[in-house]
């Protein structure tokens, strides 16, 4: 069903996918298709599309972002587990938290983790609330998010999770440069600075951009604000 020979070949220039990793991705992909019939997890439903637009797309993270050994990583607004679960399959050493506001997605993710034998924490909650909890605030080496909100909004949700010296990585589409310019104030106010921008072409010619924001200093305690303010009055 899934052409992992193709996926291995695409990843070969920057990462070696093992047979064990491919087997975990296969189980994950099959569960995604099966559960998607009962709940809306993804608009991407065909195995070939899942392979490229979910698995390969998320594995490109490893090409563009250096993840320290045993890094603490949080995937904010993880949805069906992208990129977090794919990163955990490829880098089982990371300490992963998957955060999402819909409990049915967390139920799915826990089932996936159990079925493929991965240890990660999947939590149901709102980013702006969890980012104020001492056990989550500024305790992560990396916060990541894929296609959750515009960058000036997303930065306020994600950067408070990152400790000084860590980074927030946003996976964006072709409007990424425009969003980055729009977000300069938010990045600065929240204690970060742009540290990298990388654009990749997927085999279907769609574009994936990685925006890296380094955490320079603590985020002021008043951030993140409540979601209504974040959305209506972006920094």
| CATH, residue 97 | 3.40.50.150
In a domain, 92, yes or no: yes
pLDDT at position 148: 77
In a domain, 171, yes or no: yes
In a domain, 24, yes or no: no
- 162 and 138 Cβ atoms separated by less than 8 Å: yes
Region 96-109: mean pLDDT is 97
Q: What is the pTM of this model?
A: 0.96
pLDDT at position 101: 95
Is the pLDDT at 40 greater than 90, yes or no? Answer: no
Q: Where are the alpha helices (DSSP H) in the chain?
A: 4-11, 19-36, 47-49, 57-64, 84-90, 103-116, 127-130, 151-158, 176-182, 184-189, 227-232
Region 140-160: mean pLDDT is 94
pLDDT digits (tens, 9 = 90+) for 42-83: 999 899 999 999 999 999 999 999 999 999 999 999 999 999
Is the pLDDT at 147 greater than 80, yes or no? Answer: no
In a domain, 41, yes or no: no
How far apart (Å, rounded) are the C-alpha atoms in residues 119 and 67? 18
Q: Which domain holds residue 178?
A: 68-232
115-124, 160-169, 196-205: which range is least confident on average? Answer: 196-205
Instruction: Indicate the number of domains in the chain.
Output: 1
Q: What is the DSSP string of 18-81?
A: -HHHHHHHHHHHHHHHHHHTTS---S--SHHHIIIIIIIHHHHHHHH--PPTT-EEEEET-TTT
In a domain, 179, yes or no: yes
pLDDT digits (tens, 9 = 90+) for 187-228: 999 999 999 999 999 998 999 999 999 999 999 999 999 999
- 128 and 103 Cβ atoms separated by less than 8 Å: no
pLDDT at position 16: 98
pLDDT at position 73: 98
In a domain, 32, yes or no: no
pLDDT at position 138: 98
Backbone φ and ψ of 135, nearest 5°: -75, -10
In a domain, 81, yes or no: yes
Is the pLDDT at 21 greater than 90, yes or no? Answer: yes
In a domain, 19, yes or no: no
């Amino acid at each position: 069903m899934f052409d992992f020979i193709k996926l291995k070949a695409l990843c070969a220039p920057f990462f070696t996918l093992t047979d064990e990793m491919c087997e975990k991705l296969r189980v994950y992909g099959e569960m995604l298709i099966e559960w998607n019939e009962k709940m809306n997890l993804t608009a991407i439903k065909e195995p070939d599309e899942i392979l490229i637009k979910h698995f390969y797309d998320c594995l490109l993270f490893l090409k563009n972002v250096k993840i320290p050994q045993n890094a603490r990583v949080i995937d904010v607004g993880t949805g069906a587990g992208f990129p977090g679960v794919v990163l955990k399959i490829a880098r089982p050493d990371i300490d992963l938290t998957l955060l999402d506001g819909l409990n049915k997605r967390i139920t799915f993710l826990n089932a996936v983790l159990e079925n493929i034998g991965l240890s990660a924490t999947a939590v149901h909650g709102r980013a702006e609330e969890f980012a104020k909890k001492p056990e989550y605030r500024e305790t992560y080496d990396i916060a990541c998010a894929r296609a959750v909100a515009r960058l000036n909004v997303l930065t306020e949700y994600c950067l408070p999770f990152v400790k000084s010296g860590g980074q927030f990585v946003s996976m964006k589409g072709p409007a990424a440069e425009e969003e980055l310019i729009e977000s300069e104030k938010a990045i600065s106010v929240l204690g970060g600075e742009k540290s990298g921008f990388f654009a990749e072409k997927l085999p279907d010619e769609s574009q994936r951009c990685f925006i890296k924001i380094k955490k320079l200093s603590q985020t002021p305690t008043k951030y993140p604000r409540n979601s209504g303010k974040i959305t209506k009055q972006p920094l």
